[in-house]
Structures are given as structure tokens and as C-alpha cells.
């Protein structure tokens, strides 16, 4: 009887025995996305039923759009094609870039990994952590790569705080930090992984003052302090301090969506939503085992995949929903603001 | 000091040394194959790094990244095909030397210079660990701009016989480099809205197209072997003597390579050009540059190995990669738990020295191996060229396909190749074009960032003023230096004959600046200022060239057609071989890349080398197996053709 039940159960579950799963990385070999995917690949092999083999394949080009368009076109319901994504996946679609040939709603996340973000200041400004009096009314020198990346988050934030910026574009995160150290820009910003490597030392030497974190979204969907830096106020508290009221309105809605993109799902693995239910279920179960595997929870896993817990299943869905389902009015506001303020999309 | 010696002990202990050797062997192999470099090598070992301990993983990675710029000299010197982007300039004099039968000499000179450069880089890194931080931080946006401008003055040394044509070529390079997405607005310019051009035209396609394709065609048309008469001249000892004779050049260029590798602003891809420009600029008798001057080989080779040591400085100190290879090294370091930055120096100083020692030792090992191989591999230059050419063509297409793994790569290579063929024929400096191309985004970025950050106040910074003076001095020497010109004869390549094709080429080249203006003028300032300025600059020089071509009666440097001097010698024109390449592309579109390459090699060997059916098939088959091996190793799919819509071919034909 027991045997029979087990057999029936088996018939309905997916089995990947002898199969090959391809994990797409939409960037050049090397870099964080490749490392992230390569670290997870053997864990998927271990925990998926039938222990399939995996290969990690880099498809660079078009700021990740080439691979993502191809993935959307090619991936079927058999679960053999999985893609890694970064913020560009959401943002390019959000701002309506014409080269985007996929619909973010057609995909479901298997895992979404987080990375907090700290904003810090030059000590010459004399500002304190969480303070605003000294910078009030000042134009701050800002350095970044491009207003159309995840750093859009801080740009919206400064708009809401009413801090005028003098931007210099074209700086990768490393170059930005160097420019900050040379005192050529006032505002530094780094993810939590870079924070430990570089920013802690700067703060110790008195070369940087932590200002605020962009925030974090808790299980109830509320914007809270970053759990890795609980002593540093979040952007939301800054807003309350400056305006004396809770944030609301179009800008705040846009901010929350980009916060989901930039912090709550900085790296994800996605699969088509149309994937067969039993296969999707197998992935979900495997992912639960993956995130509790010592290789993920251990010291090495935290170093490579980030120190935060990972979202899977319904939670990952929730993050993705918050990141993609923006009210059309908010989208319109965001596009207009990016265009008027930073010339984005102006031809 | 204890730390330094302690690391040496660790280095010489069994496992570490073994993995260093492994890394060196892998690094030499990927450097040898055009288009593959440190990046591809690191991609291959990445999966294994997860399971290795820190010391051995480090040995493997450093061994690999230290020597790719040693072995890349083989294809550059022997075939005229830049082995990696770091040895483009080596082709300038290295390949002519091979043609004169001095391949072994050029190679051994290059390897000795590489060794000195590499060890020099390691030495500088040792010292720099303690003092480099303030120096690097002194280089702000303004200083970076001056460094870029200094590099740009080197174009003046690379113009060839006609300075105005050289400047026009540089302008064209600047414009081609401007294609792609602009950071400030996230919008594309000059890219015909093609997704492929979002990130611009890949460097590999440009370098191999502009240099390799024309050289292969040229040798095919005019020679039976690369080395004249199929003989090898002076051996490798001569090369070592050359290095000793020019030791100051080697050391100076090592210093330049190290410095530029470490400082922000320029990056790895221009170092060989700057070293080359520098040695031309500072040499008294420069008639032989571009025709086989050993100094033109020593300079870039010493600089590009020294660069890796230099580039490690910002990588380790700030976590900012100083070169392409360092980007992926950073990823590798993250996996093994070594996080570059200030904390690493506090906690893992021993590993820092382990890295330094490993670089030095890897360079010694890499050089010894290459030296041993120099003579036998040089024999390739005495082999019938029609046997080698189809393999080189195929290898070049394979190499370029590594850029973005897109059909566009193959097409970009063909277009760049055709451009290169005609630039060579009509005497437009390909070096000036390429330097303009690699400097393009750096020039634009540096100007933009400096203006945003400082405006005119940038001239209040003392270091900017000092560097500006250096730029002016360099510019002055460039203006003063006259390229020695061979006497022009009424019957030579500079004669007033075949003017029609030259004007046609000029008209085609004019289309590039015109397109730049049409596409960007009237758009926001940050998108249009640079391309429109570069276009006007280019148009001015193109106009000067045109006037000269139209109205100067006597033979002159602007009038230039290689075909005038070679009439009657070549049986077929360049178009014939470009036609073969079109055939290869068309075949790939129909059958897929791998079957097309097999067919291409087979037919070429049958028709041009008169090989038997069996032999030609074996050659083609072996090449397909190599391609298949790389497909597995690098996880790549070759471009598919129409055929793949109907049948799935088995490995290795996929």
C-alpha cells in the first residue's frame, strides 16, 4: 500500500535524471553574476530530483538585453533553461526601452538575493549620520554610472529630500569610490559586500561619514532599516526628518518599486511562468533545500552570495511583483522625471 | 622583510609551484590563440576555483594572467595577427621582421623584453604596495584627461608617410569608437538602432579586421611563404643581444607600461601603442619603423608584460581592476575568499607578496618555455602560405566570435577587414585609426568628467599644469619630427595613377563623419558634442587629402596606391580573397559556422594549395575537432545557419 502510494506520487513528480539544465548569465564571463550562478549550479544539481547536470553559459551583449530577449524567445515549459538576471532586467522594461522584447510578467523567480546599500558623505561637509542641517541648501557633487541603472533609486531619493545634485556620469562603482576618495565627489555609495571591503576602512580613517541606507523591505512589505546596519537610519527616516511626515505620492511609489529591484532582488534566477506545474514544483522544493544547504548558509556562501537571507517561492514572487507591477501613472511620472531631469531617452 | 621571504618559501613549496606551472601552461596556450586571452583562460578555470584552497587557486590564477602577453607574441610576429589586444603594436614591426626571415630573432627579443617587463612590474608592485596609494589618488579627472591627451599625441608618431591622412584616419577611429550607448542618457547613437551595437564595435573585431585580414591577403597575393625565399635568418641569440643593446628602451617602456597600468584613465588596451609611439618619438633614426625595426618589437612587449604588475596595484589596493584580465581576477579572488581592498593588506600581507613572487616566477617560466619554442615555431614562416592562410582566416573568425558570441561579430570582422585592406592599399595609417578607436570613449569621458567636475578651474591644479606641459612638449616633438620619406618616383606607389579608386575610397570614408553629424547633431549636448567635433576634425583632414589628391601634380604622400607599384606581380586582386571571405560568411548563413569553416578550409586547400582530397579533408576535419573542443571548453554555440532549422547536427559540427 505504502509502495503504491509512493509510486503514484512518483508519477506526478518531475525527474531530471540524465537531463541537462542550462543556466544563462546575460553578461561577460567573470564578474559577480557569473560567480553567483556558478556557485548555485552544483547545488541545483544536488537538490533537483534525478540530479541533472548543469552548464553555465554566458551570453553577453546589449547590456544583458540580448540574452534576456533570447531567453524569452527560446525557453519552453520543460524547465531546462534558467536565466540569471540583474536590475537591468526590470529597469530596462520599466523605462520602456525599445530594445526590450520580453515581458517581465512572463517569468517567475526561483530565487531572489538581496544586497543592501549605504550612502555616505565626505567628512568636509561636516554632516552627521542621519543628519541634514549641514547639507541643506547645498548642491552635492554626485558620481554614478548612468541614471538608467539601479542607482536611479538614490536619484529619486535625493529628489524627494530636495537635495540638488551636480552629477558626473560614466563612473563604475570602483571609479566612483576612487573619485570619492580624491574628494572630487561628495556622495559615496556602495553595496553591503563592498561596504565591508572598502568603506569600513574609510570610515575608520575619518575619510567618510555613513549617512543613510536606502532601506530594506521586511516580511510585511514595510520599508525598514537595513538589518546589516541597524544603527544607521534608512532613507525613510531621513524623509520624515526633513519633511516632518511619512513619504507618499508618485515618487515614493517609484522609490519602493526600485528598492525591490535594487536591494531585494539584485540577483535572481528566473524561469518562464508557463513552465509545467510539476517541474516548477520540483524547482521550488529544490530551492528550499538549496537555501538551507550549508554551502549557502555557511561562511563561504554568505561571502559569495551575499550576507542576507534569500527569497524563494511565494516570497520571491512577492518581491518580483512589487518590482514589476507599477501603476501606469507612476511609470509615466518616472519616465517624465528621468527625461526632464536627466535627459534620459531624449534623442 | 620576514613576510616577503616567508611568502617565497610558500611559493616554492610543492603544490603551489605545481599549480603555478599549470597556470603558466594554460596562460601560454590561451595567449597563443588569437582572440583568447587571460579572460578566456580565467573562464575555463573558474568552475574549479570553488573547490581549491586559497594558495593554490591564487597560484593558478596568477600563473595564467601573467604570461598571456608573453605567448601572444607568436601570432603577432609570425602571422601579423594580434594574439591579444595587448600586442597590437607588436605587429607593426614584428611581422615585417618575419617577412625578412628574422622571425626567430624578433621572437627571442620580444620574449626577453617581456621577461624584463614582467619582472620589473613585479618589483614595482613590491614597492608600490606601500607607497602607491597617494600617487594613484593624486590622479583626478583633470589629470586623467591630460594622460589621455598625452596618449593622443602619440597618434602623430603613427601617421605613416602622410600626416594629414594619418590625422584623418585617427578622426575616423574616434568616430567609430563613438558608436553605441551613451552613459549620460542611456540612449544609443550612430548604431542604426541595432542591439548588437549597444556596447559599440568590439575591439577584437576592429584589431583583427584592420590588421590581420589585410596582412593575410597581402601575403597570399605577393608571396609563397611569409619569410622571403622560405629561409630563416639570424637566430634567437641575436634577439637577446638586441635587448641588451636597447636595454634603456626596454626599461623605459616597462616603466611606462607599469605606470599606465596602475593609473586610472587609460587602461590596458592602449599601453602597447603608447610604448610604440614613445620609442618612435625618442629614436633618432626612424626610417625602419614599420618596416621591421627590432625596437618596435621591444617597446610594446616589455610594456605589456609590465602592465600586469601595474594593473594589480589598483586591483589590490582599491578593488578597481586596471585591465580586462583584472576584472575576472577580481571575481576569482572573491571566490577564494580574498577580498582586495585595505582590509586585505591588513590581514593577508603574506598573500600579497605571494602574488608578487608568483608573477615574477611565472614570467621566468613563461619566457623559458617560449624561448624554447621560438625556433621550431618560427619554421611556420617557411611553410607554403596557402596551407596556413585558410587556417588563419578561420582562426580569426573564431577569435572574433569570442567578443560577444553573435553573428554580428563575424560581419563586423568582415567589414573591418575590408576597411583594413583598402586603408593599407591607399596608405591610410591603420595604427592611427586603431589608436583613435581605442582612445575614443576615454577622450570623451575624460573631457566630459573634467568639465563637469572643474570647468576651467581644472587649471588651478598643479599636477594638471605639469602634465599639460608634458603634453605640449610631446606635441611639439611630434610636430617637429619629420618622417623620413623615401624618394617618390613617377612610377612608384605615390605616382599620379589610379586616382579614381582613391577618390572612391575617400568618398566612402567621408560617409562616416557625415553619418556622425546626421545622427547626433541636434541631440542633447552630451550626445552630440564629441561626435560632431570629431566629425568636423575628420572632414577638415579628409578635405585636405582630397585637394592634394586632386590637384598636386608631382608624386606625393597623399597620392598612394600600392597597386601602382605591384602591377603585374600579383595574379589576383584583393577582391578575390575578400570574395572567399564572403563565401565563408554565406556558407555559415546556410550551413552554420562549423560546417562552413570545414568546407572553406577544404576548398581553399584544394584550389589554392593543390592538396589531394584526402589531405585537405584531414586538415578540415582536424580544425573542426579543435573548434568542437573549444565549444565544450568555453560553453559556446557557434553561429547557426538555415540548415540548423531543419536538422540538428552532431558534435563537433554543431
Interface predicted TM-score of the whole assembly (ipTM), two decimals: 0.86
CB contacts of A197 in chain B (<8 Å) are 319, 339-341, 343-344
Q: Which three cell numbers stand for residue B482?
A: 619629420
Name the A residues in 75-134 with CB < 8 Å from any B CB: 95, 97-99
A130 in helix, strand or coil? coil
Residue B522 has pLDDT above 70, yes or no: yes
Q: Which residues of chain A have pLDDT under 70?
A: 1-12, 346-347
CA-CA distance, B68 to B72, in Å (whole number)?
Answer: 6
**Burial B257-292, CB ≥16 within 10 A → b, else e:** bbbbbbbbbbbbbbbbbbbbbbbbbbbeebeebbeb
The strand pairing partners of A24, in sequence order, are: A57, A83
Q: Are B68 and B353 in contact (CB under 8 A)?
A: no
- Residue B207's φ and ψ, nearest 5 degrees, are -65, -45
DSSP one-letter string for B441-487: HHHHHHHHHHHHHTGGGGGG-HHHHHHHHHHHHHHHHHHH-----PP
Which residues, numbered 263 to 292 in chain A, qualify as contacts with chain B under a Cβ-Cβ cut-off of 8 Å?
none
**Cell 546589449 belongs to residue:** A62
Query: Which of chain B's residues have a Cβ under 8 Å away from the Cβ of A175?
Result: 264, 320
Q: Average pLDDT of chain B? A: 88
pLDDT at B591: 93
Among B186, B314, B408, B412, the residue to mutate for chain A (most A Cβ within 10 A)? B186
How far is the alpha carbon of A30 from chain B, nearest alpha carbon, in Å?
A: 5
Dihedral sign, Cα of residue A338, residue A340, residue A341, residue A344: positive
Contact A303 B337 (CB under 8 A): yes
Residue A229, C-alpha cell as written in the block: 546596519
Neighbours of B395 (CB within 10 A): 23
Scan residues 175-214 of A and list those with Cβ closer than 8 Å to B: 175, 177-179, 181-182, 184-185, 194, 196-198, 200-202
- Give the Cβ contact number of residue A301 at 10 Å: 20
Interchain CB distance below 8 Å, B406 and A184: no
Q: Does A295 touch chain B (CB under 8 A)?
A: no
Burial of A296 (0-12, 13-18, 19+ CB in 10 A): buried
Give the residue from B184, B408, B444, B518 with the most A CB atoms within 10 Å of its CB, the best one to mutate.
Answer: B184
Instruction: Extract the C-alpha cell encoding B423.
Output: 586603408
Q: Model confidence over B120-151: pLDDT tens digits? A: 999 988 888 778 888 889 999 999 999 999 99
Please list the residues that pair with A20 across neighbouring strands.
A53
Residue B233 cell numbers, joined: 635568418
What's the predicted TM-score (pTM) here? 0.90
Adjacent-strand bridge partners of A143? A168
Task: Indicate the DSSP class of residue B530.
Answer: H
Question: What are the E-state strand segments in B448-593?
Answer: none
Q: Output DSSP code: residue A121.
A: E
List the one residue out of A43, A57, A259 whose CA is nearest residue A151.
A259
Per-residue model confidence as pLDDT tens digits over B446-492:
999 999 999 999 999 999 999 999 999 988 888 877 655 555 666 67
Distance of residue A206 Cα from the nearest chain B Cα, in angstroms: 14
Distance of residue B441 Cα from the nearest chain A Cα, in angstroms = 10
Handedness of CA A269, A273, A274, A280 (dihedral sign): positive
Nearest-CA distance A7 → chain B (Å): 36
Q: B104 pLDDT exceeds 80? A: yes
pLDDT digits over B349-393, tens only? 888 888 888 889 999 999 999 998 888 888 888 889 999 999 999
Q: Are B120 and B309 in contact (CB under 8 A)?
A: yes
| Residue whose grid cell is 532599516 | A225
Of residues A272 and B330, which shows the higher confidence score?
A272
Number of cross-chain residue pairs from A and B with Cβ atoms under 8 Å apart: 165
Q: Is A55 helix (H, G, I), strand (E, B) or coil?
A: strand
Q: Reduce the DSSP state of residue B489 to 3 states and report it.
A: coil
Q: Which residues pair with A270 in a beta bridge?
A: A83, A109
A-chain residues near B198 (CB < 8 A) = 61-63, 65-66, 99
Instruction: Quote the pLDDT of residue A3.
Output: 44
Which residue of A122, A168, A296, A302 is the best one to mutate when testing the B interface, meaning the one whose CB has the most B CBs within 10 A?
A168
Q: What percent of chain B has pLDDT over 90?
A: 48
The closest CB to that of A198, out of B321, B342, B453, belongs to: B342
Q: Which residues of B touch A303 (CB under 8 A)?
A: 334, 337, 339
Q: Where are the alpha helices (DSSP H) in chain A?
A: 2-12, 31-47, 65-74, 87-94, 152-161, 173-181, 192-194, 200-204, 235-243, 250-259, 277-291, 294-297, 299-305, 313-324, 328-342
The reported pLDDT for the residue numbered A12 is 59
Per-residue confidence (pLDDT) for residue A4, from 0 to 100: 44
Evaluate whether A239 touches A247 at the Cβ level (below 8 Å): yes
Amino acid at each position: 500500500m505504502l509502495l503504491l502510494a509512493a509510486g503514484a506520487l512518483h508519477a506526478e513528480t518531475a525527474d531530471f535524471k540524465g537531463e541537462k539544465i542550462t543556466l544563462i548569465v546575460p553578461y561577460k564571463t567573470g564578474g559577480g553574476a557569473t560567480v553567483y550562478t556558478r556557485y548555485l549550479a552544483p547545488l541545483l544539481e544536488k537538490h533537483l530530483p534525478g540530479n541533472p547536470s548543469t552548464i553555465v553559459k554566458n551570453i553577453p551583449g546589449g547590456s544583458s538585453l540580448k540574452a534576456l530577449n533570447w531567453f524569452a524567445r527560446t525557453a519552453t515549459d520543460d524547465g531546462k533553461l534558467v536565466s540569471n538576471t540583474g536590475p537591468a532586467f526590470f529597469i530596462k522594461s520599466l523605462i520602456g526601452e525599445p530594445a526590450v522584447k520580453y515581458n517581465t510578467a512572463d517569468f517567475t523567480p526561483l530565487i531572489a538575493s538581496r544586497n543592501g546599500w549605504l550612502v555616505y558623505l565626505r567628512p568636509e561637509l561636516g554632516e552627521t549620520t542621519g543628519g541634514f542641517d549641514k547639507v541643506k541648501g547645498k548642491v552635492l557633487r554626485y558620481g554614478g554610472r548612468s541614471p538608467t541603472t539601479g542607482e536611479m533609486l538614490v536619484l529619486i531619493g535625493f529628489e524627494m529630500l530636495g537635495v540638488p545634485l551636480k552629477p558626473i556620469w560614466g563612473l563604475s562603482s570602483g571609479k566612483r569610490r576612487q573619485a570619492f576618495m580624491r574628494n572630487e565627489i561628495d556622495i559615496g555609495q556602495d553595496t553591503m559586500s563592498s561596504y565591508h571591503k572598502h568603506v569600513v576602512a574609510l570610515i575608520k580613517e575619518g575619510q567618510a561619514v555613513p549617512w543613510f541606507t536606502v532601506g530594506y523591505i521586511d516580511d510585511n512589505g514595510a520599508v525598514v532599516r537595513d538589518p546589516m546596519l541597524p544603527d544607521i537610519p534608512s532613507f525613510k527616516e531621513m524623509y520624515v526628518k526633513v519633511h516632518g511626515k511619512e513619504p507618499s505620492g508618485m515618487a515614493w511609489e517609484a522609490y519602493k518599486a526600485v528598492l525591490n529591484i535594487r536591494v531585494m532582488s539584485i540577483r535572481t534566477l528566473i524561469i518562464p511562468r508557463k513552465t509545467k506545474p510539476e517541474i516548477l514544483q520540483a524547482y521550488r522544493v529544490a530551492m528550499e533545500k538549496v537555501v538551507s544547504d550549508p554551502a549557502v548558509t555557511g561562511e563561504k556562501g554568505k561571502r559569495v552570495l551575499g550576507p542576507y537571507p534569500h527569497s524563494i517561492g511565494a516570497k520571491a514572487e512577492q518581491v518580483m511583483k512589487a518590482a514589476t507591477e507599477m501603476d501606469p501613472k507612476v511609470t509615466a511620472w518616472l519616465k517624465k522625471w528621468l527625461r526632464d531631469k536627466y535627459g534620459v531617452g531624449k534623442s | 622583510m620576514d613576510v616577503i621571504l616567508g611568502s617565497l618559501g610558500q611559493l616554492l613549496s610543492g603544490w603551489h609551484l605545481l599549480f603555478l606551472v599549470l597556470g603558466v601552461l594554460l596562460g601560454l596556450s590561451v595567449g597563443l590563440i588569437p582572440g583568447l586571452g587571460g579572460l578566456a583562460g580565467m573562464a575555463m578555470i573558474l568552475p574549479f576555483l570553488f573547490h581549491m584552497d586559497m594558495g593554490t587557486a591564487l597560484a593558478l590564477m596568477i600563473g595564467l594572467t601573467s604570461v598571456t602577453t608573453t605567448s601572444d607574441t607568436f601570432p603577432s610576429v609570425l602571422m601579423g595577427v594580434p594574439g591579444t589586444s595587448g600586442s597590437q603594436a607588436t605587429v607593426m614591426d614584428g611581422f615585417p621582421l618575419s617577412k625578412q626571415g628574422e622571425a626567430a630573432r624578433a621572437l627571442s627579443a620580444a620574449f626577453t623584453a617581456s621577461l624584463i617587463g614582467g619582472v620589473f612590474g613585479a618589483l614595482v608592485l613590491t614597492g608600490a604596495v606601500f607607497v602607491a596609494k597617494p600617487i594613484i589618488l593624486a590622479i583626478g579627472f583633470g589629470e586623467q584627461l591630460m594622460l589621455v591627451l598625452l596618449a593622443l599625441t602619440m597618434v602623430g608618431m603613427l601617421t605613416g608617410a602622410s600626416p594629414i591622412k594619418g590625422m584623418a584616419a585617427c578622426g575616423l577611429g574616434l568616430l567609430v569608437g563613438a558608436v553605441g550607448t551613451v552613459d549620460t542618457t542611456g540612449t544609443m547613437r550612430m548604431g542604426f538602432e541595432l542591439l548588437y551595437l549597444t556596447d559599440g564595435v568590439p575591439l577584437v573585431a576592429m584589431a583583427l579586421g584592420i590588421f590581420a585580414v589585410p596582412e593575410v591577403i597581402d601575403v597570399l597575393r605577393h608571396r609563397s611563404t611569409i619569410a622571403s625565399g622560405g629561409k630563416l635568418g639570424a637566430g634567437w641569440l641575436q634577439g637577446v643581444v638586441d635587448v641588451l643593446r636597447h636595454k634603456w628602451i626596454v626599461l623605459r617602456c616597462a616603466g611606462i607600461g607599469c605606470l599606465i597600468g596602475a593609473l586610472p584613465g587609460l587602461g590596458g588596451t592602449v599601453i602597447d601603442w603608447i610604448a610604440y609611439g614613445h620609442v618612435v618619438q625618442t629614436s633618432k633614426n626612424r626610417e625602419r619603423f614599420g618596416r621591421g625595426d627590432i625596437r618596435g618589437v621591444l617597446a610594446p612587449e616589455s610594456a605589456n608584460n609590465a602592465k600586469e604588475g601595474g594593473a594589480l596595484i589598483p586591483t589590490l589596493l582599491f578593488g578597481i581592476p586596471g585591465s580586462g584580465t583584472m576584472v575576472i581576477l577580481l571575481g576569482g579572488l572573491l571566490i577564494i575568499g580574498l577580498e582586495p581592498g585595505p582590509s586585505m593588506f591588513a590581514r593577508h600581507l603574506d598573500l600579497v607578496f605571494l602574488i608578487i613572487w608568483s608573477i615574477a616566477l611565472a614570467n621566468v617560466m613563461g619566457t623559458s618555455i617560449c624561448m624554447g619554442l621560438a625556433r621550431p615555431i618560427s619554421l611556420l614562416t617557411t611553410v607554403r602560405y596557402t596551407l596556413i592562410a585558410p587556417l588563419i582566416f578561420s582562426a580569426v573568425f573564431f577569435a572574433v566570435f569570442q567578443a560577444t558570441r553573435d553573428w554580428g561579430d563575424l560581419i563586423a570582422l568582415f567589414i573591418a577587414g575590408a576597411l583594413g585592406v583598402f586603408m593599407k592599399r591607399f596608405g591610410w595609417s591603420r595604427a592611427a585609426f586603431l589608436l583613435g578607436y581605442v582612445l575614443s570613449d576615454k577622450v570623451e569621458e575624460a573631457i566630459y568628467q573634467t568639465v563637469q567636475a572643474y570647468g576651467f578651474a581644472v587649471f588651478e591644479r598643479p599636477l594638471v599644469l605639469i602634465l599639460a606641459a608634458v603634453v605640449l612638449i610631446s606635441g611639439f616633438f611630434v610636430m617637429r619630427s619629420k618622417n623620413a620619406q623615401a624618394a617618390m618616383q613617377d612610377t612608384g606607389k605615390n605616382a599620379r595613377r589610379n586616382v579614381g579608386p582613391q577618390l572612391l575610397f575617400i568618398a566612402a570614408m567621408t560617409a562616416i563623419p557625415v553619418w556622425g553629424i546626421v545622427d547626433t547633431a541636434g541631440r542633447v549636448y552630451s550626445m552630440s558634442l564629441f561626435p560632431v567635433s570629431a566629425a568636423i576634425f575628420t572632414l577638415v583632414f579628409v578635405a585636405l587629402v582630397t585637394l592634394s589628391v586632386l590637384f598636386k601634380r608631382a608624386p606625393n604622400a597623399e597620392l598612394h596606391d600600392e597597386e601602382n607599384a605591384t602591377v603585374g606581380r600579383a595574379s589576383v586582386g584583393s577582391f578575390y580573397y575578400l570574395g572567399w571571405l564572403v563565401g565563408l560568411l554565406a556558407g555559415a548563413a546556410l550551413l552554420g559556422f562549423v560546417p562552413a569553416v570545414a568546407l572553406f578550409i577544404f576548398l581553399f586547400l584544394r584550389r589554392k594549395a593543390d592538396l589531394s582530397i584526402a589531405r585537405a579533408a584531414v586538415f578540415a576535419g582536424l580544425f573542426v575537432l579543435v573548434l568542437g573542443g573549444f565549444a565544450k571548453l568555453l560553453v559556446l554555440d557557434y553561429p547557426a545557419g538555415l540548415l540548423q532549422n531543419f536538422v540538428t547536427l552532431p558534435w563537433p559540427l554543431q
